[in-house]
A and B are shown apart, each in its own frame.
Chain A
Amino acid sequence: MQKITHLIKSFMLWELLKGMAVTGRYMFARNITVHFPEEKTPQSFRFRGLHAQRRYANGEERCIGCKLCEAVCPALAIKIETEERADGTRRTTLYDIDLVKCIFCGFCEEACPVDAIVETRILEYHGESRGDLYYTKEMLLAVGDKYEAQIAKDRAADAPYR
């Protein structure tokens, strides 16, 4: 009896029609595509995007040139040179991150004792010629100044977990 039902079903293309019913149903289901850039997927405050150099509230740059980030970077993307400043403190004269080498792991941010180098949530940046993705100190500080409010909020949101 089972053999007969199996024969009838295979000639009626039963399984094929069941499969087509599934795709037919899905055709009218709401599609799950996120229409970038009009819509965006939710982003965590811990998202590791473009780097930035932060400052203290009084305007003093945070980075003291300890070179811990340069030492920990797995891709050797950070290049630092330091010098004594007029007021006797140590500050960097050269702080470059080659974003082409960077693997965006966030170790530099974790290693920094003063929270100077951070990774912001910015993922929408681009470079149009060869050197555009080699971020120098000025560029990093500029990013930091521009997005300080968002950076501070993200760090505050993450603070209970660090």
Chain B
Amino acid sequence: MEAQLLHFFQWFWDLFGLWNVVWSFVQPVWPLIWTLIKIVVIVAPLMIGVAYLTYAERKILAYMQVRVGPNRVGPYGLLQPIVDGVKLLFKEIIVPIRANKFLFVLAPALVFATALAAWAVVPFSDGMVLANLNAGLLFILAMTSVGVYGVIIAGWSSNSKYAFLGAMRAAAQMVSYELPMGFALVCVLLAAQSMNLTDIVLGQQSNAGMFGWYFIPLFPMFVVYFIAGVAETNRAPFDMAEGESEIVAGFHVEYSGMGFAIFFLAEYANMILIAALTSLFFLGGWLNPFHGWPLLGAMSDFVPGLVWLLGKMFFVLFMFLWFRATFPRYRYDQVMRLGWKILIPLTLVWVVIIAAWMQTPYWLWSPEPR
């Protein structure tokens, strides 16, 4: 596709002979420009998605609580996220006295940057990925781990006891839930024999449609990964780090206006990232769930892979919101207990089970040779 675009550009400039000179300057930096275009194509819809995820959250939570969410601002309240963004832009930015200004500004940037950077390896369809890293899985785990730094720096630089304690709790929670996430992904790694995210999705391709996906043999890992993902993004019921009624806003209590907006956006971008990863690792990514089925397979094969991926992400995000509406908040020691004493042993046991299962002839999920 890139070669065709280059070819088109070349032809177009040739039409206007005197632009040849311009082209000779652009050509050497063309890969950079193409990468920037791809980045914008990923980040711009992601930001719109984050904004409307907040809208969807308010509406869906409201309907689950037998009320209507925002319905005044635009038709059906659709302009609400835009109005919220404008409001946050106009707020006064307060920096606490004796706070380390550089770190205070750096913290939200760090959290947001890592939330966006992890999207570089997410494949939206076969070949549609910004950076097709062979260690994509490792890259994602690394990026989410760097995000924890942003949280700690935010709490420390706010020069406030409550922000600091909130940050310590949030950081401890995020770190302790990265372990079950990592181990669950070890199971996926065993099944897919590759850390390349595209290969992991292709490993789930088969003529059995959705029965070839990894959520069937790895079902406990699917559940563990999802629960760890909810805890990782500090979402209810694991949101005591930002429990609005308990310690106000935890580590981002001192942030106002744009700083708060960036933390908010980063949290939702992380949510969407976890949804995308869950869909890629366990729910078959861009694959058709009915592929190879007698009648439905042929009928549904025309749907582009991106649409399937978005549908699965929407389903996982709906589960995020459903969890928030249903469950009361965990206490901090209960959060730690769940992460260390329940999820990690479960994942370790399942790694052994999967490893043993794969040696038997009953393992039906080997990746097809490409």
Chain A residues within CB distance 8 Å of chain B: 13, 16, 19-20, 22-24, 26-29, 31-33, 35
- Contact call B326/A20, Cβ cutoff below 8 A: yes
- Residues of B contacting A: mostly: helix
Known: A13-B223, A32-B66, A33-B68. A19 touches B60 (CB 8 A): no
Residues of A within 8 A of B325 (CB): 23
Residues of B within 8 A of A35 (CB): 68
Q: How large is the interface on B (under 10, 10 to 19, 20 to 34, 35 or more residues)?
A: 10 to 19
CB within 8 Å of A: which B303-332 residues? 322-323, 325-327
* Among B67, B323, B326, residue most surrounded by chain A Cβ atoms (within 10 Å): B326
- Contact call A22/B326, Cβ cutoff below 8 A: yes
Residues of A within 8 A of B89 (CB): none
14 contacts between A and B (CB under 8 A): A16-B326, A19-B326, A20-B322, A20-B323, A23-B64, A23-B322, A23-B325, A23-B326, A26-B65, A27-B63, A31-B67, A32-B66, A33-B68, A35-B68
Select one of B64, B68, B223 contacting A26, CB under 8 A: B64
- Contact call B326/A29, Cβ cutoff below 8 A: no
- Contact call A27/B327, Cβ cutoff below 8 A: no
Residues of B within 8 A of A20 (CB): 322-323, 326
Residues of A within 8 A of B62 (CB): 31
**CB nearest neighbor in B for A25:** B64
Number of interchain pairs (Cβ within 8 Å) = 34
- Kindly provide the distance from the CB of B247 to the nearest chain A CB, expressed in whole angstroms: 25
Known: A13-B223, A16-B327, A19-B327. A26 touches B66 (CB 8 A): yes
Question: Which 8 pairs, one residue from A and one from B, show the smallest C-beta to C-beta distance?
Answer: A23-B64, A23-B326, A27-B64, A19-B326, A27-B63, A23-B325, A33-B67, A33-B68
CB within 8 Å of A: which B62-116 residues? 62-68
Residues of A within 8 A of B323 (CB): 20
- Contact call B68/A31, Cβ cutoff below 8 A: yes
Chain B residues within CB distance 8 Å of chain A: 60, 62-68, 223, 322-323, 325-327
Residues of B within 8 A of A19 (CB): 326-327
Residues of B within 8 A of A24 (CB): 64, 322
Residues of B within 8 A of A28 (CB): 63
Residues of A within 8 A of B322 (CB): 20, 23-24
CA distance A13 to B66 in the complex (A): 25
CA distance A146 to B322 in the complex (A): 52
Residues of B within 8 A of A26 (CB): 63-66
Residues of A within 8 A of B68 (CB): 31, 33, 35
- Kindly provide the distance from the CB of B77 to the nearest chain A CB, expressed in whole angstroms: 12
**CB nearest neighbor in A for B328:** A19
- Kindly provide the distance from the CB of B107 to the nearest chain A CB, expressed in whole angstroms: 34
Known: A20-B322, A23-B322. A29 touches B327 (CB 8 A): no
**CB nearest neighbor in A for B237:** A16
CA distance A31 to B322 in the complex (A): 17
Residues of B within 8 A of A33 (CB): 67-68
- Kindly provide the distance from the CB of A36 to the nearest chain B CB, expressed in whole angstroms: 11
- Kindly provide the distance from the CB of B55 to the nearest chain A CB, expressed in whole angstroms: 16
- Contact call A32/B65, Cβ cutoff below 8 A: no
CA distance A54 to B64 in the complex (A): 49
Residues of B within 8 A of A32 (CB): 66-67
Other CB < 8 Å A-B pairs besides A20-B323, A23-B325, 20 of them?
A13-B223, A16-B326, A16-B327, A20-B322, A22-B326, A23-B64, A24-B64, A24-B322, A26-B64, A27-B63, A29-B66, A31-B62, A31-B63, A31-B66, A31-B67, A31-B68, A32-B66, A32-B67, A33-B68, A35-B68
CA distance A20 to B64 in the complex (A): 10
CA distance A23 to B65 in the complex (A): 7
Residues of A within 8 A of B326 (CB): 16, 19-20, 22-23
CA distance A19 to B66 in the complex (A): 15
- Kindly provide the distance from the CB of B11 to the nearest chain A CB, expressed in whole angstroms: 54
CA distance A29 to B67 in the complex (A): 10
- Kindly provide the distance from the CB of A60 to the nearest chain B CB, expressed in whole angstroms: 47
- Kindly provide the distance from the CB of A117 to the nearest chain B CB, expressed in whole angstroms: 37
